[in-house]
Structure 1
Amino acid sequence: MVRCALMVKLYAKPGKENEVESFLKSALDLVEEEPATSVWFALKTGPAEFAIFDAFPDESGRKAHLAGKVAAKLMAQASDLFTAAPQIQEAEVLADKLPFEGRKSNELPPEAFAP
């Protein structure tokens, strides 16, 4: 079970929306290298609004992620891509439903996504 999470809100500068989307998609490869990142989602919530949600089994996993390559890359590109610094909010996971353990969603059989 995951216990700790992060919600990160990102607002793309005008004209940078496609770059933000590409950046978030490319970050998946870096997240795959983080064994303590149990769940990671890059989301588009509006035309220029994006978010990242990730969850971890414990606080040490969350701290490792915040000190990792994705966070470093995000902060290095923040002034170029975003209207403001990423808004990072820590959260406690009260309950979860995860359909898989240690497998990427693209490795799951189609029935794993059935309603």
Structure 2
Amino acid sequence: MIKHALFVRLEAKPGKEQAVADFLIDGLEMANRESTTPIWFALRLSPTTFGVFDAFASEADRQAHLNGSIASALMACADEMLASPPSIEPIDVLGMKNLLA
């Protein structure tokens, strides 16, 4: 059962909006390789603001994701692409509906 999640907000530097979008599009491949990340969404919230919502069955799975390849790749290019450090918010999932698994 999914009980743990993350919401990550990313604010692109001026002129880096497409680079952030491309990073997130490419991130799907990395997320698909993470067996402990069953739910992963890349989002565009505004022309310059992006987000990632992902969810996990356990706290250990959430921590594995935070220490995994997507987080490492993001931190490696954050200074170049982002106007500020990523805002990473842990979330408790209270309920979920998912018909398109």
Provide the C-alpha distance between the structure 2 equivalents of 1:66 and 1:94, rounded to a whole number of angstroms: 21
CA apart distance, 1:38: 1.3
Distance 1:18 1:100 in 2: 28
Give the equivalent residue in structure 2 for 1:34.
Answer: 34
2:95 is matched with 95
Inter-partner Cα distance in structure 2 for 1:60 and 1:100: 25
Distance 2:91 2:62 in 1: 10
CA distance in 2, matches of 1:14, 1:80: 11
Runs (4 or more) in structure 1 with deviation over 2 Å come to none
Query: 1:72: which partner in 2?
Result: 72
For structure 2, the residue ranges without an aligned partner over 5 or more in a row are none
Question: The residue matched to 2:33 in structure 1 has which SS?
Answer: coil
Q: Report percent identity of matched pairs.
A: 43
> In the alignment, which residue of structure 1 is the partner of 2:8?
8
Unpaired stretches in structure 1, ≥5 consecutive residues: 102-115
Q: Structure 1 length as normaliser, TM-score?
A: 0.86
* Other-structure match for 2:48: 48
Write out per-residue CA displacement over residues 69-97 of structure 1, whole angstroms, 9 at most, x where no aligned residue: 00000011100000000000001000001
Aligned to 1:109: none
TM-score normalised according to structure 2 size: 0.97
Q: Deviations over 1:10-69 (max 9, x none)?
A: 000000000100000000000101111111000000010000000000101101100100
- In the TM superposition, residue 99 of structure 1 has moved relative to its aligned partner by 1.5
